[in-house]
């Protein structure tokens, strides 16, 4: 999949931003969904990109000790988030 096509989809930026701000870049699925709502976004935005994010290895799921789903940024997702932040900072830096 082309990065720019994927990044332009509504939900991609929000997902990376929210997971990137969380402790250990992970959260219980319910907490993640609450964060989406707090950011005045819709869950459908996440569901539009969820499959692509999983297939490309940017996010992943696992179960915690209480058998609750945890959504997390993979190493690939963390690197992508870091690169996007670097690009945005470069673009916003005025000479």
Cα separation, 3 vs 21, in Å, equals 21
Domain coordinates of the chain in residue numbers? 3-92
Q: How high is the pLDDT of residue 93? A: 80
Residue 62: strand, helix, or coil: strand
Q: How high is the pLDDT of residue 41? A: 85
pLDDT in tens, 7-58: 888 899 999 999 999 989 999 999 999 999 998 888 999 999 999 999 999 9
pLDDT in tens, 56-91: 999 999 999 999 999 999 999 999 999 999 999 999
DSSP letter string, 5-53? HHHHSTTHHHHHHHHHHSGGGEEEHHHHHHHHHHTT--HHHHHHHHHHH
Its CATH class, for the domain covering 3-92, is mainly alpha
């Amino acid at each position: 999949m082309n990065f720019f096509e994927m990044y332009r989809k509504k939900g991609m930026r929000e997902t990376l931003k929210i997971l990137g701000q969380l402790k250990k870049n992970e959260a219980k699925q319910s907490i993640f969904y609450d964060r989406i709502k707090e950011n005045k976004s819709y869950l459908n935005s996440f569901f539009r990109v969820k499959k692509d994010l999983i297939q490309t290895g940017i996010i992943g799921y696992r179960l915690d000790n209480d058998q609750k789903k945890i959504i997390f940024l993979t190493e690939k997702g963390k690197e992508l988030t870091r690169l996007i932040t670097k690009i945005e900072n470069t673009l916003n830096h005025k000479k």
